[in-house]
Chain A
């Protein structure tokens, strides 16, 4: 199992001496698509290793030269860190591989299937939606976010399909919020994350997200301007609906 020096040696050692855990694939057909997905139980907690192949990139119509899925996920993580969005710690092991901390919360699919309604908080949904719009996330289905039902918060995971020149469909949690919490859609929200986003310059953004393809750079710049202007959750939904 080759892992990069980008990962702290203590984590690396823990993973190498850890045990591989079964990964649920029932009801998760997309899990079979990524070349390698391994979950490790270690003395330092659980870690998830994900490696994509050239075929995975072809399937997603992504040219690896413009940024691999792993690199895009790492850039998304760095951006999340910068603006203060709570996402699991992630390392770029090599151009095609990421290793991330695995959190012990169910994904939204597991929770909603078993329990029905998710209680969501507007400020958390707003922050996640700002991030997903900014990063041009095109794959935010119900297994790509966790639900911390203790704090009633969405935690975004698996943000590899990001920073493309086109926009994706509305994230699953946003559709859910639109239906279940309609009274809160137009309520103005102020969050630290939004303030940080507004203070983010194009130069800083380009350092965090070193895109190579011109149209992707333009799209990111435009999305940064749009997120700066969003005042409520409805504004972000309107961006998705064009």
Chain B
């Protein structure tokens, strides 16, 4: 299977519209992805357009991309598609884990939104952030207590904005998937 075929297969996993073919032109430097029918309401494709800018034909069933062999690393983009399926959480996390993907995330979300870091200065801010994340992950207080080994009282105190030991804060962050970063 060629790199381009693998790329198309990976792309198809990320979008709703059915790809019928991909053709290359201009010394393999340009490519056109053709779809089975007019493309509409496809969030995956909207994200893809930001990743690889191109233009649609009038019928909205063919997407042309120029300068692909010069401007794009297809192997890396294919990996990006396979690993993230163009899901927002996946993309942001992957860029955090592997900086090679950061330019793609910057391109899709814009530089100002691409990193989800937040400066926490007060206890109640930290508390709010952690319990919001726990809620998002549908973790109950009981489950949070079991995951961290902290008592319900410690959790409730922290939830109401009272101080917490750093080691306990680290346990909580780990349980809900928040990374603490110190900068000097």
Contact with A along B60-93 (1 / 0, CB 8 A): 0000000000000000000100110101011001
Residues of A within 8 A of B90 (CB): 104-105, 149-150
**How far is B78's CA from A114's CA once the two chains are assembled, in angstroms?**
11
Q: For A26, what are the chain B residues with a Cβ–Cβ distance below 8 Å?
A: 1, 6
A5 interface residue per 8 A CB criterion: no
Q: Is the CB of B83 within 8 A of A106?
A: yes
- Size band of the interface chain A makes with B: 20 to 34
Categorize the interface residue count of chain B: 20 to 34
Q: A104-B87, A110-B83, A190-B146 are in contact. Are A149 and B12 (CB under 8 A)?
A: no
Q: With an 8 A cutoff between CB atoms, is B110 at the interface? A: no
Per the bound structure, the CA–CA distance linking A106 and B10 in Å amounts to 11
**A2 interface residue, CB < 8 Å from B?**
no
CA distance A230 to B85 in the complex (A): 37
A149–B146 CB distance below 8 A: no
Q: Which of A26, A121, A149, A150 has the most CB of B within 10 A?
A: A150
Given A41-B16, A106-B83, A192-B146, CB of A149 within 8 Å of CB of B94: yes
When A24-B9, A150-B177, A151-B177 are in contact, do A115 and B97 touch as well, CB less than 8 Å? yes
A28-56, CB < 8 A from B? 41
A8 CB–B CB distance under 8 Å: no
Q: At the interface, yes or no: A96 with Cβ under 8 Å from chain B?
A: no
Which of B85, B147, B177 touches A104 (beta carbons < 8 Å)? B85
Given A149-B90, A192-B146, 13 more A-B residue pairs with CB atoms under 8 Å apart are A19-B36, A22-B9, A22-B12, A24-B9, A24-B82, A104-B13, A104-B85, A104-B90, A106-B82, A149-B83, A149-B97, A150-B177, A151-B177
Q: Which 10 A-B residue pairs are closest in the complex by CB-CB distance?
A: A104-B85, A22-B9, A19-B18, A150-B93, A150-B89, A114-B79, A106-B83, A21-B12, A151-B177, A104-B87
- On B, residues with C-beta under 8 Å from A are 1, 6, 9, 12-13, 16, 18, 36, 79, 82-83, 85, 87, 89-90, 93-94, 97-98, 137, 143, 146-147, 174, 177
